[in-house]
Structure 1
Amino acid sequence: MRRLVFLLVAIIFSLHNNAFALEYQNAQVKQDGNYLVFYYDLIGNPNQEAVVGIEIKTPDGKIYTTRNLHLQGDIGLVNVGNNKRIYWDVFKDFPKGLPANSKWSLLVRPTHYTNALGMKFVYIPGGCFMMGANPNDKLARKDEKPQHKVCLSGYFIGQYEVTNKQFWMFDPKHDSGSSKLYTLDKPNQPVVNVSWDEVQQYIKWLIAKTGEVYRLPTEAEWEYAARAGLKRDTYWTNPKDACKYANVYDETAYNKLNKYKVSKKHFPCKDGYVGTAPVGSFLPNNFGLYDMLGNAAEWCYDTYYNKAYKYMNNKKDPVYITPYILVKVVRGGNWFNAFEDNRLSARSNYLPGLREEFIGFRLVLEP
């Protein structure tokens, strides 16, 4: 049996947002063979669930989260109760042992979590789904096929798109844009005219500010969260109902912008907005997420490749990254587009340094 010489590292147990009546007690860490075992009691209201995770920071500045570690037991979505245990097969992650002076955190969050800056996140339990266009979808493009099975670990995703107000905390001079016909720069509108590269700088700032691990969603995470169990490709069955669910290229926008030949097609309804709408202005999906379709399109983490789906079937937590392709995935349609783009499987792509007045983002928080 190998000796876990790193048991003397600092152990930090962190509780986030205890306003939700969640707390842990009697936290301990013990060695059991090649495993480290985290013991804790999870205290809260009857039948309440918490999202429990592990975070490790090594002296070289690297951060390892639940997704990156070989963990089992009472991890992820956990009911309140006593005698909880998390087993970590340490040597699978650190064959030479965990570096000295590493810091550990046990993270306990409610399923609906608000960070220190007021950004709201919803926990999406892990699961499997069929990603890509339904074979019967007449609007589907080739890059949305083949439909394939994907399985995901649980993760937090932003309940809303990141707003101008939230981005101004990082860059007070940012201007999402405006014109005589519409404005995109009010505090509660989604931030747009922000490149993928600039989003990475925002994420670095946010991690430093909060001590939490954020990133863009992978394309698979985005679609799983957007579908929320839905198998058809839009939240509506009749295009006349689209404006209940999303800010799309509707009669409102068409009447103002048609002379600019934005599109010959528009949804046969009125959502009341020419440009972006304040986040959360329309109905949420079954996960309680807003504006997954319409409003601002959203940057994803992946590199775009039109044949990527051929390599993703039956994958766990898939992400397509290659240094040989520059463009990044954009999902979700937007206020500027009509039918083909405002669909749950629709994919588009842009260069990472590009800014557009219809592209914004939402974030994933590692549990």
Structure 2
Amino acid sequence: MASVFLSYSRVDRPKAQQVAAALEEEGLTVWWDKVLKAGQTYDEVTEGMLRQADVVVVLWSTVSVKSRWVRAEATLGERYSAVVPAMIQEADRPILFELTQTADLIGWDGDRTEQRWNDFVTDLRHAITRKAVKTAEQPVTAKPAADTASAPAAPARSLADDGTIENTFWMSIQSSTDAADFAAYLKRYPTGHYSDLARNRLAALEAKAKAKTPEPVFAAAPVQTAPARPATQTPARQRKLSMLPLIAGGIVLLLGAGWGVSLLLPSDLEVPETVAEQAADPVEEPVVETADAETVARADTVAVVETGVADAVLTEAAFVAPSEETVAAPEPPQAGPRRDCDTCPEVVAVPGGTFLMGSPDSEPGRVGNEGPVRSVTVAPFVMSRSEITYADWDACLADGGCNDYRPGDMGERGDMPAMSISWRDAQSYVDWLSGKAGRTYRLPTEAEWEYAARAGTQTAYWWGDGFDRSMVSTGGPKAASNMPENGYGLVGTLGNLREWVEDCYVNNFSNAPTDGSAVLTGSCDLRIIRGGAWSDNAATHRAANRARVSRGTRDRKIGFRVVSSDVKP
């Protein structure tokens, strides 16, 4: 009998394999679909193992929390066994499991000596013991074989009581309005108990979707427009859109009058790619509900683009307006970047000052660990202009430092930010750098990092309150020389890679120091990362956003930069 049944999404198979191997090294028996033998039926075997397992371990990730199969296995696990879930990525757990205590294995790298892993294994053993005690306390009611053979058939169970994977899956999708759910059911169960119902439901949803598809209105040549935004308009904006026919007529007359003149004038204006990208991403859309004059003007401009009334030329200001709260960044006391030695990274001087650390409750994308907002005073320091690059790291390697660790890359090195660097790896670099530079370097404190990233501003991003994708990297990291500078001359603070800081993780700032020093109490195996990475969303790029990661994690979205408090001339 398997002690542990491992439930996970196929996308997370490498992590599942790591967890399964570690559990087996702990002396536990683990069943997962890798051990399924040829010719065995997945659902039949899976259901049997779920019934027999002492504990069901569910690995929650951004993908598995949306998986109907993982949810079905977790549901059956609660029915027959004990469920011990573990987070392997930051994600919102399914609502049915929100109240179930979940182990934190985010960033766990397979180290069985790590305290989080030991706590997780301890919880598993307790769950197994509870299951054994519960089973022993149940009365034995088995009948003799002869009686069993002659006994009348038990009444059929209702669908709600049926414990099969198929029925559990069907119960989870029967009210769904997503055709993909029923297509997934039919793919797995083409002749299942509910296949006819699934086909009918799928046909109805597809017919409904087809009926909603709008027919073309104009037969003229298509007008190139930005992608449509989600229809989440406020009443004020709806009134604006109702005026579009009148506005359209006026714009057409104006365009007609200026058409001849435009032919005589050179024009090299183009709609920036960032406009199209921002229009396609509802997360990045400015909040229209603020109803100030500037926001309403932006809403009108966007409405013109959506309806194709005019071939308007937009700038990034149409989507990202400067905030009234933005404070002009003070000039650094030192002109331009410098190096302490030929192989040292470029550094810039960051002036000391006082700022409000954290995010207000009203900031879109805010999470609870970003507050409460408090005033923090930071002393002057120097900081590497960019994240440490491969050129910087390779110089350390060539000089015999950095523990001979050569991080992988995505085909380029040189001026690209060094990725797959753990917090421990970063410590080996600052030790080497301190010996070369003539002053002591370290990782920035969390307060220093946010102060430098804001560069004298109090908006969500150093360039304003609206997310501007042109200011960050997408699809992959960029060379440091291709990233824009903030007011302190730093590049890539809110984009490219996420960055390690010195601090141990605490879940709020209630007792955090206000002098800019690091937090060195709390969960010190978990360290803080700051700033957005090339594949992250708008909320993650905010200056106040923070996350916790095990200090041994080497992730290609994480790098670092360095600071020194020794501000020598």
Identify whether the pair has TM-score above 0.5, normalized to the shorter chain.
yes
Following superposition, the deviation at residue 185 of structure 1 comes to: 4.0
Distance in 2 between the 1:238 and 1:140 partners? Answer: 14
Describe the superposition over 1:18-59 as per-residue Cα deviations: whole angstroms up to 9, x where unpaired. Answer: xxxxxxxxxxxxxxxxxxxxxxxxxxxxxxxxxxxxxxxxxx
Does 2:426 align with 1:225?
A: no
Aligned to 1:312, which of 512, 522, 544?
A: 512
Does 2:312 align with 1:113?
A: no
Distance in 2 between the 1:200 and 1:329 partners? Answer: 14
Following superposition, the deviation at residue 359 of structure 1 comes to: 0.3
Answer whether contact 2:440 2:564 (CA < 8 A) is retained: yes
Does 2:441 align with 1:214?
A: yes
1:292-331 equivalences in 2 (<5 Å): 292-307=493-508, 309-312=509-512, 315-322=514-521, 325-331=524-530
Q: Which amino acid aligns with 2:481?
A: G
User: SS of the counterpart of 1:171?
Assistant: helix
1:50-61 equivalences in 2 (<5 Å): none
2:224 corresponds to which residue? Answer: none
Q: Which amino acid aligns with 2:351?
A: P
- The 1:184–1:311 alpha-carbon spacing in structure 2 relative to 1, beyond 3 Å, is farther
User: SS of the counterpart of 1:205?
Assistant: helix
User: SS of the counterpart of 1:194?
Assistant: coil
1:286 corresponds to which residue? Answer: 487
Following superposition, the deviation at residue 210 of structure 1 comes to: 2.5
- The 1:112–1:131 alpha-carbon spacing in structure 2 relative to 1, beyond 3 Å, is same
2:472 corresponds to which residue? Answer: 246
Q: Higher strand share goes to which structure?
A: 1
Distance in 2 between the 1:319 and 1:140 partners? Answer: 22
Distance in 1 between the 2:332 and 2:510 partners? Answer: 35
2:380 corresponds to which residue? Answer: 154
Aligned to 1:189, which of 409, 416, 419?
A: 416
Following superposition, the deviation at residue 165 of structure 1 comes to: 1.0
Answer whether contact 1:134 1:232 (CA < 8 A) is retained: no
Describe the superposition over 1:308-357 as per-residue Cα deviations: whole angstroms up to 9, x where unpaired. Answer: x10136x2223211265310010001012112211100001111111000
- The 1:195–1:223 alpha-carbon spacing in structure 2 relative to 1, beyond 3 Å, is same
Distance in 2 between the 1:299 and 1:128 partners? Answer: 22
1:15 corresponds to which residue? Answer: none
Distance in 2 between the 1:201 and 1:177 partners? Answer: 17
- The answer for unaligned runs of 5 or more in structure 2 is 1-330, 399-403
Aligned to 1:128, which of 336, 354, 366?
A: 354
- The answer for unaligned runs of 5 or more in structure 1 is 1-76, 80-108, 249-273
Does 2:350 align with 1:141?
A: no
Aligned to 1:276, which of 477, 482, 485?
A: 477
Following superposition, the deviation at residue 192 of structure 1 comes to: 0.7
Deviates more, 1:129-138 or 1:183-192: 183-192
Q: Which amino acid aligns with 1:135?
A: D
Answer whether contact 2:388 2:418 (CA < 8 A) is retained: yes
Q: Which amino acid aligns with 1:311?
A: N
Distance in 2 between the 1:206 and 1:196 partners? Answer: 15
1:83 corresponds to which residue? Answer: none
Q: Which amino acid aligns with 1:310?
A: S
Report which structure shows greater RCO (CA 8 Å, sep ≥6). Answer: 1
Q: Which amino acid aligns with 1:221?
A: E
User: SS of the counterpart of 1:322?
Assistant: coil
Answer whether contact 2:386 2:561 (CA < 8 A) is retained: yes
Answer whether contact 2:525 2:550 (CA < 8 A) is retained: yes
Distance in 2 between the 1:335 and 1:323 partners? Answer: 29
Answer whether contact 2:344 2:433 (CA < 8 A) is retained: no
Superposition RMSD in Å: 2.3
1:64 corresponds to which residue? Answer: none
User: SS of the counterpart of 1:310?
Assistant: coil
The TM-score, its normalising length taken from structure 1, stands at 0.58
1:168 corresponds to which residue? Answer: 394
Does 2:549 align with 1:350?
A: yes
Distance in 2 between the 1:356 and 1:285 partners? Answer: 26
User: SS of the counterpart of 2:449?
Assistant: helix
Aligned to 1:335, which of 524, 534, 555?
A: 534
Q: Higher helix share goes to which structure?
A: 2
Answer whether contact 1:176 1:184 (CA < 8 A) is retained: no
1:260 corresponds to which residue? Answer: none
Answer whether contact 1:170 1:205 (CA < 8 A) is retained: yes
1:59 corresponds to which residue? Answer: none
Aligned to 1:204, which of 417, 424, 431?
A: 431
User: SS of the counterpart of 1:285?
Assistant: coil
**Structure number with bigger Rg:** 2
Following superposition, the deviation at residue 214 of structure 1 comes to: 0.4
Q: Which amino acid aligns with 1:312?
A: A
Answer whether contact 2:357 2:374 (CA < 8 A) is retained: yes
Answer whether contact 1:292 1:332 (CA < 8 A) is retained: yes
Answer whether contact 1:131 1:223 (CA < 8 A) is retained: yes
Answer whether contact 1:176 1:357 (CA < 8 A) is retained: no
Describe the superposition over 1:45-95 as per-residue Cα deviations: whole angstroms up to 9, x where unpaired. Answer: xxxxxxxxxxxxxxxxxxxxxxxxxxxxxxxx999xxxxxxxxxxxxxxxx
The TM-score, its normalising length taken from structure 2, stands at 0.38
Distance in 2 between the 1:148 and 1:323 partners? Answer: 19
Q: Which amino acid aligns with 2:358?
A: G
Q: Which amino acid aligns with 2:450?
A: E
1:365 corresponds to which residue? Answer: 564
- The 1:184–1:174 alpha-carbon spacing in structure 2 relative to 1, beyond 3 Å, is farther
